[in-house]
Amino acid sequence: MTYRDFIDRLKESGKLVEVKQPVSPRFEASRIAKKTKAPVLFHDISGSKVIMNLLGSRDELSSMLGVPKEEIIKRLSEVSPEGEIRLVSESPTLEVIEDDVDLTKLPILTHFEKDGAPYITAGIVVSEYGGVMNASIHRLMLVGKDKLAARLVPPRHTYILHKKAAEKGEPLPVAIVLGCDPVITYATTTRVPVGKEFEYAAALRGAPVELFECSNGIKVPHSEIVLEGYVDPKERVDEGPFVDITGTYDVVRKEPVIHITRIIHRKDPIYHGILPAGPEHLLMMGVPYEPRIYRAVGEVTTVKNVVLTEGGCCYLHAVVQIEKQTEGDAKNAIMAAFAAHTSLKHVVVVDEDINIFDPNDVEFAVATRVKGDMDILIIPNVRGSSLDPRGAPDGTTTKVGIDATKVLIEKENFERAIIPEE
């Protein structure tokens, strides 16, 4: 499946919203995407096509992976990053080559009132240094016709590669990929061994990932647009403010500058934009952590499912479903979840009869199965998420785990009434 195949499938299934009239890249496109929530294809943003909310729900994710929504976690937990990579010499991405770089011709969006500048939100930065490759999404602020500022988060892999290159006064070669197979985009958001993002994507899609080599030596998958360049070893500029996953503004920082030296793209490319704090951003941030929690909880009890909830920004709140065997299993599950995803703030553990995708059902479990002095675990002064506005300046917070499971010896008291079918 290609990027365009996936868009065509959305259209055929009636899930794609198409906007034919001209739309401004400044606020208007993001406003429409936020209201629409469904995948939306703009046919004319500054003369270009743009798609947003491409993977905006678990329904799209389950379609992409070819499994029911309830089995996404099982599928992701079973796949190892050992798929096949094929190097090829030809690519549809090479239909148009531009050596005279002008990034302002791209439909780079401005999303919110206080945005520091237009910025790229779905750019996969592929880098390589010392024989080590990495592919991951970074926000990329437009700072000139041929310059972007990259938010590189320590101690993640792109940050480390840039740091190693900069210590030797060397530029870090990169290629920024926009609009590739969504399985590949998803794979680059996961935590896999160094340099295994494309192998993981190949394993997920059940077919090899083809890569072609850019003029600077970086190997990338077929896509709509590729920006070739390098991260400057010294140059830094103010980056931000921009909205992060909580829907609040991140702080302004000095971040490295990427110089773009060449643009290659398909004819009539379809630009991919992710709405900050929108459904696709939440899904991309949260779902990759769910398998880690699932596997960790599976080490201490029988785990059935895990979800990072939308209300918890798909990052700070988890609901863990277990098959409870003994009293204490739920608290062990809570501690395992916090260890697996250290940014978690609140965790609720429920039984098999609770639908973890239904907030009302989860609240029902809390209402009917929790006794505050016995079932709530409070852990103060621990490292949390830098994205939590309520966290302390040093990153510490208080974490809360809620055991919303039945008391085993009294389980008949928690039986839910069923109306039988005739």
pLDDT in tens, 16-48: 999 999 999 999 999 999 999 899 999 999 999
The pair of structure tokens assigned to 85 is 């990579």
Is 244 an annotated catalytic residue?
yes
pLDDT tens digits, 258-311: 999 999 999 999 999 999 999 899 988 888 899 999 999 999 999 999 999 999
User: Considering the chain, what percentage of its residues have pLDDT values greater than 90?
Assistant: 84
Q: Pick the catalytic residue from 115, 146, 181, 244.
A: 244
pTM value is 0.91
pLDDT at 137: 96
Q: How confident is the model at residue 92 (pLDDT cuts 50, 70, 90)?
A: very high
What is the gyration radius of the CA atoms in the chain, in angstroms?
A: 22
Distance CA 315, CA 248 (A): 14
Upper half-sphere CA count for residue 347 (Cβ side, 13 Å): 31
Q: What are phi and psi of 296, to 5 degrees?
A: -65, -45
Q: Token match 């239904």: residue?
A: 358
pLDDT at 337: 98
Nearest to 36 by CA among 233, 262, 280: 280
